[in-house]
Amino acid sequence: MKKEVFFFGMLLFYFVSVQAQYDCKVMIENLQGQYNGECKKGIANGEGSAKGIDTYVGNFKKGFPHRFGVYTYQNGSNYIGNFNMGQKDGYGLYNQLTENGTLVQDYGLWLADKLVIPNDPKGLYRVKERKGVKLIDPRLIRDNTVENQIWINFQTNGVPDKSAVITKAEITNGHKLATEDRSLNTLLAFGEIESFPVTFRLEYQIRQTSHFEMLDCMVEVTLFTGGRWEIDINH
């Protein structure tokens, strides 16, 4: 009998949870239709995904896209970056498809849906995780002569550091290149990257300047567009 009560209790809990999620409201009209994710007082709040005429995957606040997310419009255009209560706000990349099918990329710092500082590469990447890292400084070269590659350089207090020892190097799309050009402080590079976004994760050790011990470090970064990326990781 106790098992049956427990079973029906869990079933009721599941039904209420599903019903609450079904009734969870999204405030953007073009996203109203289907919602899956976290909910607060009947309104989308936290991580989730919404699909209506447009689609959105990311963070919500009071029913609006908020903080980081990916918004895809009905015509195939999308915005990858930060929001503030439904508006583009912060660093982001807007991939806009024109009527003739041409792709136009606008990136940089957005404020209230307007691009106020264009062509800032901070709008083209996102640091997802990091440990033991003070600063990540990417530079991007984009033209018809460069391949899609990622070159990693290590620094300590702004000075090139050749002490890094890589213990793990993973990338979602592409391959590690055979390079250890220490004269240029290049220990690691990725190439043969066919599509973006692409995410790489590094785990490594680097010597601490104040001690003679090795510091455990980790970084995970997503890049949203192609070109030759040169990334300084500072400790």
Query: Which residues pair with residue 216 across a beta bridge?
Result: 205
- CA dist 168 and 125 (Å) reads 21
- CA dist 56 and 82 (Å) reads 12
DSSP string, 1-12: -HHHHHHHHHHH
Lowest mean pLDDT among 34-43, 109-118, 206-215: 206-215
Q: Which pLDDT belongs to residue 163?
A: 87
The average confidence (pLDDT) of the chain is 87
Q: Which pLDDT belongs to residue 146?
A: 86
pTM for this structure? Answer: 0.81
Question: What's the whole-number mean pLDDT along residues 96-123?
Answer: 93
- Assess whether the previous peptide bond of 138 is cis (omega < 30° from 0): no
What are the tens digits of pLDDT across the range 115-168? 999 999 889 999 999 999 999 999 998 888 889 999 999 998 888 888 889 999
Q: Do the Cβ atoms of 194 and 174 come closer than 8 Å?
A: yes
Q: Do the Cβ atoms of 215 and 235 come closer than 8 Å?
A: yes
Please name which of 26, 146, 164 lies closest in space to residue 86, comparing C-alpha atoms: 26
Q: Do the Cβ atoms of 189 and 151 come closer than 8 Å?
A: yes
Proportion of the chain above pLDDT 70, given as a percent: 86
What's phi and psi for 147, nearest 5 deg? -90, 165
Q: Which pLDDT belongs to residue 158?
A: 86
Q: How confident is the model at residue 86 (pLDDT cuts 50, 70, 90)?
A: very high
Q: Which pLDDT belongs to residue 10?
A: 42
Question: What's the whole-number mean pLDDT along residues 186-210?
Answer: 89
Please name which of 82, 130, 129, 85 lies closest in space to residue 107, comparing C-alpha atoms: 82
- CA dist 21 and 200 (Å) reads 33
Q: Which pLDDT belongs to residue 180?
A: 59
Tokens of residue 38, six digits = 């976290």
- CA dist 92 and 72 (Å) reads 13
